[in-house]
Amino acid sequence: MKTGEYVKLETKDGRHLQGLVMKSTDVNIISLKLDSGYNIGIDRKKVKSSKVLKQNNIACVKKLQKVDFDKKLKTVTILHTGGTVASRVSYKTGAVAPSFKPEELVEMFPELSNVVNVKSKLIGNMFSEDLRFSHWNKMAKEIEKELKEVDGIILTQGTDNLGLTACALSFVLENLNKPVLLVGSQRSSDRPSSDAAINLTCAANFIAKTDFNEVGICMHARSDDEGCYILPGCKTKKLHTSRRDAFKAVNSKPIAFVTKEGNVSFLEKYHKKDHHDRLRLRLFKENLKIGILKAHPNMFAFEIKNCSKYDGLVLEGTGLAGNFPINKVDVKTQEHKLISNELKKLAKKIPVVVTSNCIFGRINMNVYDTGRNMQDIGIIGNYSDMITETAFIKLAWLLSNYDKKKVKDLFMEDFRGEISKRTEFEEEFV
């Protein structure tokens, strides 16, 4: 059996398997990509019989047709940073390989050519879990460059930090007058249950049929394949590790619903933001050190002290006030007085902001003594309904673009829709 051949195997324990032979790093193991899209390793000694159904599938690759531009359609640049959206099975190896050429994308997703003209560009392989401020700056610069020539941007990325990227770009891209949609895929395009095609085509349809000109996210609305939500850039969180409808708006509603057929329904009245000034990049300082510290039982003061080298700190506290353990109430809680002292010293040195470990709702530090004491210490964020990730991005962006002394006042100012005027609980995630 050679790499790239499509084979049928029978194992000694009675299993019948069909799939594409992939390159294996172990000569004793046959790596097979099954028809389901999953990969499996089989010990050669356990194979009873094998039959080659098709010779090397590289011969089956069709010559890609040239993509013609239709002047009647909007033009979209798809910027790739990695992830599983634009991936396909390599006929050479059987593994999943990226496809970045417009011709390849149109062959994979033929619906695109009827919706928009497609340009495509790889701006770097950026693993979603390995993102740094420098990556967001690079994305923003490429977006600025491309928007001079096209009607909108679709940026593909791995889903781990997709919400943070959307938030970061929302802040960096000031006076944005064209749409920028983040698209990911929870399941790779070599799997029958992949969400790549619908997510990508729904994003293209939304750009083609609306005058939306903000940063948003386009991902599966529900676990079925009926369509996608367009989600707000600063108020979206990934709430499930693997479900296709993992992304949900928090303390906000989705902006719109796009059906798989391309029909668009705005879920709230949308007002296009008209910017008279040209697009301006408000980039991140790449050497900034912003921390996140999560409250937990049995905390110690040294955990706060260890944050002294940060330029800013987000405290993810508990409940309504984003509470931290700062109250000495008995002999068992003497450490909490030390925690309070360390927080007070830190808040005099750097901006310290608070969020809640609760997903939904708004911070209110006026209700309980702990919240009022935290305000006295110098911790900011009262009445914020930002999730922790948004607070992290916003704090980094403010420290990158404003005088440090102004950050405390600016943190509670709404710049990009990150703070809701009114918070209503919507039980979206079921």
For residues 235 and 305, state if they share a domain: no
For residues 146 and 294, state if they share a domain: no
Residues with catalytic function:
84, 159-160, 238
Task: Tell whether 415 is covered by a domain.
Answer: no
For residues 191 and 271, state if they share a domain: yes
Instruction: Give the structural domain span for 302.
Output: 290-410
pLDDT tens track of the chain, all 430 residues? 788 888 999 999 999 999 888 877 678 888 887 877 667 888 999 999 999 987 664 444 455 567 778 889 999 999 998 655 655 545 445 445 555 565 667 667 778 888 999 998 888 878 888 999 999 999 999 999 999 999 999 999 989 999 999 999 999 999 999 999 999 988 766 565 788 889 999 999 999 999 999 999 999 999 898 999 999 999 999 999 999 999 999 999 999 999 999 999 999 888 888 877 899 999 999 999 999 999 999 999 999 999 999 999 999 999 999 999 999 999 999 999 999 999 999 999 999 999 999 999 999 999 999 999 999 999 999 999 999 999 999 999 999 999 999 999 999 999 999 999 876 555 444 4
What pairing do the DSSP bridges indicate for beta strands 227-232 and 256-259?
A: antiparallel
List the structure tokens of 427.
Answer: 């039980």
For residues 81 and 155, state if they share a domain: yes
For residues 277 and 296, state if they share a domain: no
CB-based contacts of 78: which residues, under 8 Å, 6+ apart? Answer: 86, 105, 118, 119, 120, 121, 153, 154, 155, 156, 200
Length of the chain: 430
For residues 250 and 109, state if they share a domain: yes
Q: What is the pTM of this model?
A: 0.83
Number of domains in the chain: 3
What pairing do the DSSP bridges indicate for beta strands 75-80 and 152-156?
A: parallel
Distances (CA, A) of 224 to 194, 244, 355, 430: 11, 8, 33, 13
For residues 304 and 190, state if they share a domain: no
Report the run of H or E that residue 104 belongs to, with start and end. Answer: helix 102-108
Task: Tell whether 268 is covered by a domain.
Answer: yes
The residue written with tokens 């389901």 in the block is 36
CATH number at residue 27: 2.30.30.100
Task: Tell whether 427 is covered by a domain.
Answer: no
Position 248 scores a pLDDT of 96
Residue 263 phi, psi dihedral angles, 5° rounding: -80, 135
For residues 186 and 218, state if they share a domain: yes
Task: Tell whether 416 is covered by a domain.
Answer: no
**Distance, CA of 98 to CA of 88 (rounded, Å):** 6
For residues 245 and 306, state if they share a domain: no
**Distance, CA of 164 to CA of 133 (rounded, Å):** 11
Which of 281, 311, 336 is the C-terminal boundary of a domain? 281
Task: Tell whether 424 is covered by a domain.
Answer: no
Task: Tell whether 422 is covered by a domain.
Answer: no
**Distance, CA of 397 to CA of 168 (rounded, Å):** 8
DSSP 328-397: --SGGGHHHHHHHHHHHHHHHHS-EEEEESSSSS---TTSSHHHHHHHHHT-B-TT----HHHHHHHHHH
231 beta partners: 217
For residues 50 and 103, state if they share a domain: no
Position 85 scores a pLDDT of 60
What pairing do the DSSP bridges indicate for beta strands 256-259 and 290-294?
A: unpaired
For residues 112 and 254, state if they share a domain: yes
Task: Tell whether 217 is covered by a domain.
Answer: yes
Position 374 scores a pLDDT of 97
CATH number at residue 382: 3.40.50.40
Are the beta carbons of 89 and 189 closer than 8 angstroms?
A: no
For residues 272 and 198, state if they share a domain: yes
Task: Tell whether 140 is covered by a domain.
Answer: yes
**Distance, CA of 144 to CA of 173 (rounded, Å):** 8
CATH number at residue 228: 3.40.50.1170
